[in-house]
């Protein structure tokens, strides 16, 4: 993994160019204002036609126990992703990260998927859109299964909107249970180049439209069926 230190001011445009060639920034901690460019030897991705939804998770999604919102409260999402607590002793999200991704959010290049329940933010994630690629940055949950539901809602939106790549940076045991796989840097660069050269529609489901869990599961099933046709 290459970790060259940032010696100049990173702008939103520089950040997007970095994503287009496979780099992304991180900080050592919330208090360290330096950033490092990360270039992993192996990359985590979610094949959109092979998302793994257990029967239990499908029941939760179908129940619509969470209200899913898109781009409603970026600051709350990134603050929650940056918070420390049980299982997370420190964060790589510092003030520079918050400012940069906030600027990209204002430009429509960063999106949040938010799971709400009883009027409170229960979980969610944020990431960067470039062409037909979505780069997942971080996710959190305050209630069980909230982040999983947000991720599956995201995957369905991307599959329906024609996206080619859902990047998760690294594969963890938790993400692996949902379908994340590891690919080599070389294979990832090919996938990345193909994805950023294409166009996709993140707003295939318009902002503010209530998308049912049933519609989400149907969109993923359609993506799987189409992939099976192509492979036949």
CA distances from 157 to 94, 116, 127, 187, 204 (A): 29, 18, 13, 24, 7
CA 131, CA 202: separation in Å to the nearest integer?
A: 10
If 0-12 CB within 10 Å is exposed, 13-18 middle and 19+ buried, where does residue 162 land? middle
Provide the residue ranges of all domains of the chain, joining segments of one domain with +.
42-231
CA 138, CA 117: separation in Å to the nearest integer?
A: 20
SS3 category, 173: helix
pLDDT for res 81: 95
Phi, psi for 132 (deg, rounded to 5): -105, 30
pLDDT for res 85: 59
pLDDT for res 34: 86
Q: How many CA atoms lie within 13 A of 146 on its CB side?
A: 24
* Beta bridge pairs of residue 124: 114, 140
Has this prediction a pTM greater than 0.85?
A: yes
pLDDT for res 30: 77
In this structure, whether the domain defined by 42-231 belongs to CATH 3.40.50.720 is answered with: no
- In 131-228, the DSSP E strands lie at 133-141, 165-169, 181-184
Tokens linked to 51: 């998302």
Q: Print pLDDT tens along the chain (232 aa).
A: 544 455 458 899 999 999 999 999 998 887 888 899 999 999 999 999 999 999 999 999 999 999 999 999 999 999 999 986 545 556 889 999 999 999 999 999 999 999 999 999 999 999 999 999 999 999 999 999 999 999 999 999 999 999 999 999 999 999 999 999 999 999 999 999 999 999 999 999 999 999 999 999 999 999 988 866 565 4
pLDDT for res 71: 98
β pairing state of 42-45 and 67-70 = unpaired
pLDDT for res 2: 47
User: Under a CB-based contact definition with an 8 Å cutoff, are residues 142 and 133 in contact?
Assistant: no
* Residue 45, phi-psi category: left (phi > 0), alpha (psi -120 to 50), beta (remainder): beta
């Amino acid at each position: 993994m290459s970790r060259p230190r940032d010696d100049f001011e990173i702008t939103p445009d520089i950040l997007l160019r970095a994503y287009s060639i496979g780099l992304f920034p991180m900080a050592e901690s919330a208090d360290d204002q330096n950033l490092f460019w990360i270039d992993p030897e192996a990359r985590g991705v979610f094949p959109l036609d092979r998302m793994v939804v257990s029967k239990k998770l499908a029941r939760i999604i179908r129940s619509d126990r969470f209200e899913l919102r898109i781009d409603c409260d970026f600051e709350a999402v990134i603050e929650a992703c940056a918070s420390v607590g049980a299982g997370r002793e420190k964060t790589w999200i510092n003030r520079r990260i918050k400012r940069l991704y906030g600027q990209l959010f204002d430009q429509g290049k960063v999106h949040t998927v938010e799971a709400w329940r009883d009027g409170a933010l229960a979980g969610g994630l944020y990431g960067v859109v470039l062409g037909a690629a979505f780069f997942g940055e971080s996710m959190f949950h305050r209630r069980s299964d909230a982040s999983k539901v947000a991720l599956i809602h995201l995957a369905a939106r991307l599959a329906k909107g024609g996206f080619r790549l859902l990047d998760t940076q690294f594969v963890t045991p938790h993400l692996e249970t949902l379908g994340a796989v590891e690919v080599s840097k070389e294979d990832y660069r090919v996938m990345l180049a193909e994805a950023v050269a294409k166009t996709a529609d993140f707003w295939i489901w318009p902002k503010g439209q209530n998308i049912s869990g049933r519609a989400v599961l149907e969109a993923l099933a359609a993506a799987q069926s189409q992939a099976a046709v192509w492979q036949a």
